Amino acid sequence: MAPVKISYVVSFSSQDPKYPAENLLSEDGIQPWLGCPKDHSRQLSVELQLERASPIGYADVGNYGCAFLQIEVGRSS
């Protein structure tokens, strides 16, 4: 099955103005999403909307310097 694209960023907890959460939608090259340097909570979260409802068999996630990664899947009505 072909990958399902992410339509848009619904919400996010924090972002660096130079590296916004919308970088996660980039298809050309690696565009990081980083938290705001002034935010010292050490936690980031993002909610993404897929282009269509579809079964998810796996998620290919690039991770740099993160000790813990949690993925939650839900369905919007």
User: What total of structural domains would you count in the chain?
Assistant: 1
Reported confidence tier of residue 68, pLDDT bands at 50, 70, 90: confident
Q: Tokens in use for 52?
A: 């269509």
* Confidence at 71, pLDDT banded by 50, 70, 90: confident
Q: Which residue, among 49, 41, 58, has the nearest Cα to 11 in the 3D structure?
A: 49
pLDDT band at 44 (very low <50, low <70, confident <90, very high): confident
Give the range of the structural domain holding residue 66, as residue numbers without chain letter: 1-76
Q: How confident is the model at residue 65 (pLDDT cuts 50, 70, 90)?
A: confident
Residues 64/30, Cβ–Cβ less than 8 Å? no
Least Cα distance to 34 among 70, 65, 72, 68 occurs for 65
Kindly report, residue by residue over 4-24, the tens digit of the pLDDT: 888 889 988 988 899 898 888
First to last CA, the chain: 24
